[in-house]
Amino acid sequence: MNLPELTWSLLSRALDAYADSPRATNWLRGHLARFTEPLRLAVTGPHGSGRSTLVNALAGEVVANGPEPTRHHVPASRSQPELTLIDTPPVDAEGADPGSLERICLEADAVLHLMGHPHNADLSFLRTVQDHPVARAAPVNALVVLSRADELGGGRVDALISARQVARRYRRETELAGLCQDIVPVAGLAAQAGRTITEAEFETIAALAAVPKAELEPLLLSADRFAADEARAALLSRFGLFGVRLATTLVRGGVDSQAALAAQLLQRAGLSELRDAITRYFTDRARVLKARSALIGLDVVLRMEPRPAAAPLVTELERLLAGAHEFAELRMLAALNTGRARLPDGLKDEALRLIGGYGDDPPSRLGVAGPEPQLRQAALGALRLWQEYAENPVLGAAERRAALTVVRSCEAMAMAPGL
C-alpha cells in the first residue's frame, strides 16, 4: 500500500476507535472527505505583498479583493489542474488573533508564501507552518514567491531577470531554503493583467506602442499627462508601470494579438513558472499532500483525546511518517531542482524523472508508454542501474544517498501490482 492508502486505512481505524466521541468522529470524517476534494492552496504574506492580486492571477478573474479569508474554486484548465485558493489575512496583522492564521493553514494542504525580501516575520511564519510533529517530518508543502518581482528589478522590462538572480541567492540561504520547496519570483500585477486583458486594453496598448519610445517613457512617468486620458489611466492602474512597459515593448517586438500578448505576459511576469512549480510540487502530488493533511488531523485527535484503544494508532502514525518514501521523494525533488542536492549532469535528469519530477504516473516516471510488462521491465532495469550508482565509490556520500532514494522509487514501481 502507498502512503495515501495507508493513511486512509489509518483514519478509518481511528473512526472505529473514536466511535463514541462525536467531536473526534466529525473531525476525522472531515479529513476523510477532504481526500477527494481539490487541493487547497493558501496564499499567505504580509499586508500589501500582493496576495489578492496573485489569487486573481491564478484564478484568471478578479475574485479576491475583499476582507480575508476567502476561498475560490478554480476549475481545471489546460495549464492548471483544479484548485481551491485561499486568500488569507496578512501574517503581520497587528492585533490579529494569533491562532487564526495557523487555523487557516491547517485547513490548507499547501502554502504559497509571498514576500519581497525575507523578514523575520516571514521566517517565523514559515517556521510555524512546519511547527508540528507531522509537518516537521514532511516539510514539503510550502513554496516561497518573491512577489512584486518587478520592483526588485526597478520596474524595468527585464526586471524578472534580476528577480531570478535574487531567488537563486535565497535558494542558497539555508534557513529560508530549508523551510520551503522552492523560491519563485512573480510580478503578480502584470500576471493578473495578462490573464484578464480585454480587447479594448490591447487596442490601447497597441496605440501606445506606436508612440516613439523616446516619447513614451516620459509620458508614462508624468502621471498628469497620462492620467488625462481615461483609457490610459485605467490601463496604468490595471497593469502597473512595469506591465505597461512590458506590454508595449512586446507589441513593438511583433506580438500582434490580444491572445499572443496575454501568453507573453504570463511568461514574462513569471506566472508560467509559478504554475509549473505548483503543478510539480503540489497538484501532481495532491494525494500525498492530502495524506499529509489527514495525518496532521489524526495526530491532533490522538493528542487531544488519548485513549488505550488508540495506542496502536500512535505507533503506526510514527512508523508511517518515518518510512514514507513519498515525502522523501518530494524533498529530493526540491533539493535537486534548487541545487541543494547534486548528481552528475547525466544522472540528474533521469533521477528527477524517476522520482516523479516530470509526472507522477509510472509511464512518465519510466519514460515508457508501453503495456505493463514493458513498464515492469523498465522499472527493473532502472532499479539495477540505480543500485549500482548507490554503491559506486566514485560518487560522493550525498550523491549515493540521493541515488538510494531513486532506488526506492524504482523498487516501488517494480513491485507495484498492475503498475
Residues that bind Mg ion (CB under 5 A): 51-52
Closer to ligand GDP at the Cβ: 47 or 103?
47
Report residue 112: phi and psi, to 5°. -110, 105
The DSSP code sequence of 368-391 is --S-HHHHHHHHHHHHHHHHHHHH
CB 122, min distance to Mg ion, A: 16
Question: Which of ligand GDP, Mg ion, none sits in contact with 69, Cβ below 5 to 8 A by type?
Answer: none
Question: Which of ligand GDP, Mg ion, none sits in contact with 360, Cβ below 5 to 8 A by type?
Answer: none
Closer to ligand GDP at the Cβ: 249 or 377?
249
Q: C-alpha cell of 344?
A: 552528475
Question: Which of ligand GDP, Mg ion, none sits in contact with 48, Cβ below 5 to 8 A by type?
Answer: ligand GDP
Residues with Cβ within 8 Å of residue 188, at least 6 apart in sequence: 50, 53, 54, 57, 114, 147, 148, 269, 271
Give the C-alpha separation, 127 to 141, whole Å: 12
Question: Which of ligand GDP, Mg ion, none sits in contact with 188, Cβ below 5 to 8 A by type?
Answer: ligand GDP
Question: Which of Mg ion, ligand GDP, none sits in contact with 47, Cβ below 5 to 8 A by type?
Answer: ligand GDP
Closer to ligand GDP at the Cβ: 150 or 360?
150
Closer to ligand GDP at the Cβ: 190 or 402?
190
Sheet order of strands, 83-87 included: 70-74, 83-87, 39-44, 110-115, 142-146, 183-185
Report residue 203: phi and psi, to 5°. -60, -45
CB 270, min distance to Mg ion, A: 19
Range list of H helices, 132-212:
133-137, 149-152, 159-172, 174-179, 188-196, 199-210
Q: Is 346 left (phi over 0), alpha (psi -120 to 50) or beta?
A: alpha
Closer to ligand GDP at the Cβ: 135 or 152?
152
Closer to Mg ion at the Cβ: 52 or 337?
52
Residues with Cβ within 8 Å of residue 178, at least 6 apart in sequence: 139
CB 212, min distance to ligand GDP, A: 25
Three-class HEC string of 291-317: HHHHHHHHHHHHHHCCCHHHHHHHHHH
Q: Is residue 354 within 8 Å of 408, Cβ to Cβ?
A: no
Closer to ligand GDP at the Cβ: 7 or 53?
53
Give the CB-nearest residue to Mg ion. 52
DSSP annotation of 80 = B
CB 284, min distance to ligand GDP, A: 26
Label residue 192 exposed, middle or buried (CB < 10 Å: 0-12, 13-18, 19+).
Answer: buried
CB 273, min distance to ligand GDP, A: 14
CB 179, min distance to ligand GDP, A: 20
Nearest to 72 by CA among 115, 39, 121: 39
Closer to ligand GDP at the Cβ: 274 or 366?
274
CB 180, min distance to ligand GDP, A: 18
Residue 238's beta-bridge partner residues? Answer: none
CB 85, min distance to ligand GDP, A: 12
Q: Is residue 202 within 8 Å of 239, Cβ to Cβ?
A: no
Q: Which residues bind ligand GDP (CB under 6 A)?
A: 45, 47-53, 148, 150-151, 187-189, 240, 242
Closer to ligand GDP at the Cβ: 51 or 275?
51
CB 122, min distance to ligand GDP, A: 13
CB 103, min distance to ligand GDP, A: 19
Closer to ligand GDP at the Cβ: 166 or 314?
166
Peptide bond into 69 cis (omega under 30): yes
C-alpha angle 260/263/264, rounded to 5°? Answer: 85
Question: Which of Mg ion, ligand GDP, none sits in contact with 45, Cβ below 5 to 8 A by type?
Answer: ligand GDP
Question: Which of ligand GDP, Mg ion, none sits in contact with 151, Cβ below 5 to 8 A by type?
Answer: ligand GDP
